[in-house]
Amino acid sequence: MAPAGPVLCVVGARPNYMKMAPLLRAFKACRSMPPAVLIHTGQHYDFDLNDRLFIGLDLPAPDINLEVGSGSHAIQTAEVMKRVEPVIDQSKPSCVVVVGDVNSTLACSLVAAKKNIPVVHVEAGLRSFDRSMPEEINRVLTDQLANVLYTTERGAEANLVREGISKDRIQFVGNLMIDSLHAALPRAVPALELFGRVGIDAAWASAQPGYAAVTLHRPSNVDDPRTLADIVAIFGEVGQRMPVIWPVHPRTRANIEKFGLSRVLQQHRVVCLPPQGYLEMVSLMRSAALVLTDSGGVQEETTALGVPCLTMRTNTERPITVDQGTNTLVGIDRCLILAAVDDVIRGGGKRGRIPEYWDGGAAPRIASHMAQWLVTSSEASVH
Ligand code: UD1
């Protein structure tokens, strides 16, 4: 028997969109899947963090926008919970699909689980083992609430089993970020064209040894004035070795201004841009000599692109990018960072290989497993 209600798919913040876009396409292509309804919580709302990404990823406009906006973690999470509850009550979904580890992921999982609506978590089992990271708390709790857990790397299963989650709820399917990346690569403009559009001197950026692309938004890196000042100084030193191109997250930009670091940045060979669309970001990463980041998704994308990545954190929930990919954890250690930059200049930097199932086929794997699971679980609920 086919399941009755729709599949409610939740997005809230930038890194969710790359995961949901290929999944919605695969759901649509799978004839035995119920219709999908896309809910946007409104956690991210700026054009640069939001609408631009929807366009680049070919994500359909959300069916429902909860418009929660910014706030403390408690307020944001509570607001999503309050606003998603009537949506779940009215639509009586077969299940709620959440991706990643943002506040919206946890909030919607919690509401659904308490109403006995099955929760499907995509990108389950990643662990940094660092509870000072809000995303780690979201990951652990969402996984506890989920009925079906799709993983991106094999090591995630061991993390989940250690937390008491039974193996038969876990499916290793690969990485949706790479599905989006594969779909974007043919459409991403050459970096030279992008430089023209954003006013960067192409000769400067593309001269040997190439440029470093930067992304940075973690509270641990950008919320403390001393830490952010140290990081800006390190970027200045990297800039003496190669051009630095930095699309700046709104949170980071606000703090740069608040801490009086804008003038310091202007003295360096660091070009700051507004947050870029997905296709622009792919083109910037693909042609970079190296990437400096504290983002989770960028660690995966650079591994898939074969571009050396220096992650400005002391841990990662995506260890496969270090073990098999091009990623190196450097924290905000000036010596480590400059040594890694010099290594890129001398020899091209760390090489890696593509992890298992990071092949662009994660979304169809999830859709075909889910279609089967929905039928089985709706039959079980009838008997
Ligand atoms: C969130 C996610 C993080 C993800 C990141 C990607 C959580 C806990 N964090 O962090 O995992 O890597 O998104 O960007 O869910 N702001 C704007 N415009 C917006 C949204 C936010 O200016 O559209 C500013 C606001 O000042 C806000 C701050 O950025 O207070 C932080 O936004 P928030 O969504 O709380 O967290 P992010 O740092 O973006």
pLDDT (tens digit, 9 = 90+) per residue, 201-233?
Answer: 999 998 999 999 999 999 999 999 999 999 999
334 shares a domain with 310? yes
Asked whether the beta carbons of 228 and 258 are under 8 A apart, the reply is no
pLDDT at 107 over 70: yes
195 shares a domain with 152? no
**Residue 356 maps to a domain:** no
Ligand 1: centre distance to CA 347 (Å): 36
227 shares a domain with 169? no
What is the pLDDT, as a whole number, of residue 366? 98
Full residue range of the structural domain in which residue 218 is found: 190-347
169 shares a domain with 197? no
Q: What is the total count of domains within the chain?
A: 2
List pLDDT tens digits, range 121-130: 999 999 999 9
Q: What is the mean pLDDT of residues 107-134?
A: 97
Q: What is the mean pLDDT of residues 322-347?
A: 97
Residue of 283, 301, 295 lying closest to 215 (CA atoms): 295
Q: Is 70 in the pocket of ligand 1 (CB under 6 A)?
A: yes
Range list of β-strands (E), the chain:
7-11, 36-40, 64-65, 95-99, 119-122, 148-151, 170-172, 212-215, 244-247, 270-273, 290-293, 309-311, 327-329
What is the pLDDT, as a whole number, of residue 99? 98
pTM of the model: 0.96
Asked whether the beta carbons of 309 and 303 are under 8 A apart, the reply is yes
**Residue 184 maps to a domain:** no
155 shares a domain with 15? yes
pLDDT at 1 over 70: no
Asked whether the beta carbons of 8 and 27 are under 8 A apart, the reply is no
For ligand 1, mutation pick of 79, 132, 140, 217 (most atoms within 8 Å of CB)? 217
List pLDDT tens digits, range 18-30: 999 999 999 999 9
**Residue 185 maps to a domain:** no
Residue of 4, 120, 99 lying closest to 43 (CA atoms): 99
**Residue 229 maps to a domain:** yes
Ligand 1: centre distance to CA 53 (Å): 14
Using pLDDT thresholds of 50, 70 and 90, give the confidence band for residue 352: very high
| C-alpha to C-alpha distance for 84 and 38, rounded to whole angstroms | 12
CATH number at residue 207: 3.40.50.2000
Minimal-distance CA residue to ligand 1 atom 17: 250
44 flagged as catalytic = no
Residue of 140, 94, 143 lying closest to 121 (CA atoms): 143
260 shares a domain with 122? no
Q: Is 291 in the pocket of ligand 1 (CB under 6 A)?
A: no
Specify the pairing of strand 244-247 against strand 270-273: parallel
What is the pLDDT, as a whole number, of residue 219? 96
For residue 250, what is the enclosing H or E element? helix 250-258
**Residue 316 maps to a domain:** yes
Range in 25-39, 57-71, 261-275, 309-323 with the lowest mean pLDDT? 261-275
52 shares a domain with 25? yes
pLDDT at 88 over 80: yes
Range in 50-59, 128-137, 175-184 with the lowest mean pLDDT? 50-59
194 shares a domain with 160? no
**Residue in 121, 217, 249, 383 annotated catalytic:** 217
What is the pLDDT, as a whole number, of residue 383? 60
Average pLDDT over the chain reads: 96
Tell whether the torsion through CA atoms of 329, 256, 237 and 268 is positive or negative: positive
List pLDDT tens digits, range 251-271: 999 999 999 999 888 888 899
| Residues 6+ positions from 166 with CB-CB distance below 8 Å | none
Minimal-distance CA residue to ligand 1 atom 33: 70
**Residue 256 maps to a domain:** yes
135 shares a domain with 46? yes
CA distances from 136 to 103, 277, 358 (A): 11, 26, 23
**Residue 1 maps to a domain:** no
197 shares a domain with 69? no
Q: What is the mean pLDDT of residues 128-133?
A: 96
Q: What is the mean pLDDT of residues 281-285?
A: 97
Asked whether the beta carbons of 180 and 57 are under 8 A apart, the reply is yes
Residue of 11, 6, 12 lying closest to 22 (CA atoms): 11
Using pLDDT thresholds of 50, 70 and 90, give the confidence band for residue 2: low
**Residue 339 maps to a domain:** yes
What is the pLDDT, as a whole number, of residue 82? 98
208 shares a domain with 77? no
207 shares a domain with 137? no
Nearest atom in ligand 1 to the alpha carbon of residue 134 is: 8
